[in-house]
Amino acid sequence: MKRRVVITGLGVVTPLGIGREIFWQNLCAGKSGAAKVSHFDVTDYPTQIGAEVKNFNPLDYIDKKEARRMDRFGQFAVAAARLAVNDARLDTSALDWERAGVSVGSGIGGIQTLEEQMKVLYAKGPRRVSPFFVPMLIANMASGYISIEFGLKGPNTTLVTACATGTHSIGEAVRVIQRDEADVMVAGGSEAAFTPVAFAGFCAMRALSTRNDEPERASRPFDRDRDGFVMGEGAGIVILESLEHALSRGAHIYGEIIGYGTSSDAYHITAPDPTGSGARRCMAMALKDAGIPSTEMDYINAHGTSTDLNDKTETAAIKEVFGEHAYKLVISSTKSMMGHLLGAAGGVEAVASVLAIENSLIPPTINYENPDSECDLDYTPNKAKASPVSVAMSNSFGFGGTNASLIFKKYNG
């Protein structure tokens, strides 16, 4: 018997708000976090819109001295972790520190620091490069900062799997607890890639929407007129505990993670396998791990990026895995509102999936106006839907062909 793993705390820093309550409120209201990019001058960029985190003050969560030594992605991670720890009412000083760990990843890491220090190098020479450059840059420092902040001495790992990072990080943290290597894990993803070079790179790939005059309507997953994703930033962190540990301290349990699947397309560096084979195998593995029939699934928080290929292949894969039941599923893409948070997407979307179970409410896919004949499932168009959710799946697919799926279940004692 595998140890049962439950979620007891949720923390988010997103373009729709900071903290669980405002995030969920805006998500279910169908609000968009997209606007013209404000981090830098985008006049010469083909895409000029994005979903930035607004009104974030790191000093609300982090000591001033420490905050200055963190890249923005690290600040997001620590802030979201603190929100999750507080939400879980977890007294970290009372934990068995050697059995509490961290699994928090980032797809890109401290690229803001990299660009800033490159300017220093070229303008002022190598002696003026910050001694904190490397610690601020490397992706595992988000996990490291959290470990240090809360004194967690158990497993401390970082996965970098592009847009699947947050989902893989949570899935592997579940495995750590199931293997009895920890009782508590802080898990998720963080990303802050709004920099001139990173943004130019995504533009050069033609991956981003160019609907610059209508930023709030630009992200339109599964809609016939989708033209690319809207880049976002933020962090999503969950507190995972063994069921025994959660019960022993009387924790509120949001839900249980019962399945995790992962696969590779082995097809292309950025494009998904058009057959949907990798996504299909990933979801099928998660169902097998959960030990449930596909007909028990109620809701899928889709990867749903608003790109032509991704939305078609994910739809095809869902049909293959779920058969006729695919047409009974309720599906939505929360990226329609908060954009694509890259390495943080899976963490935030896990939070959305758990809250859908908690509240019996499915967040919508906004901007769904023109049906696509190849995307013919129920994507919860434009308005949230009240619906009991006992079992939910969250999908994340990343560059390099990497795929991850998590299955959450309502906790019934």
Tokens of 277: 């084979």
d(CA 186, CA 340): 22
Would you say 81 and 152 are in contact if contact means Cβ atoms under 8 Å apart?
no
Please tell me whether residue 121 adopts helix, strand or coil conformation.
helix
Would you say 398 and 159 are in contact if contact means Cβ atoms under 8 Å apart?
no
Query: Does residue 340 carry a catalytic annotation?
Result: yes
Query: Does residue 163 carry a catalytic annotation?
Result: yes
Q: How far is CA 273 from the centre of its chain?
A: 22
Query: Does residue 168 carry a catalytic annotation?
Result: no
Q: Exactly one of 28, 203, 245, 340 is catalytic; name it.
A: 340
Element (H, E) at 321: helix 308-322
Identity of the residue numbered 105? G
Would you say 15 and 52 are in contact if contact means Cβ atoms under 8 Å apart?
yes
d(CA 116, CA 133): 9
User: What is the CB neighbour count within 10 angstroms for residue 155?
Assistant: 21
d(CA 174, CA 238): 11
Would you say 331 and 299 are in contact if contact means Cβ atoms under 8 Å apart?
yes
CA distances to 23, 58, 105, 294 from 69, rounded to whole Å, are: 27, 11, 18, 47
- Going 20 to 23 to 24 to 25, the CA torsion angle's sign is positive
Q: Exactly one of 203, 245, 303, 375 is catalytic; name it.
A: 303
Phi, psi of 7 (to 5 degrees): -105, 125
Q: Exactly one of 28, 163, 203, 375 is catalytic; name it.
A: 163
Catalytic site residues? 163, 303, 340
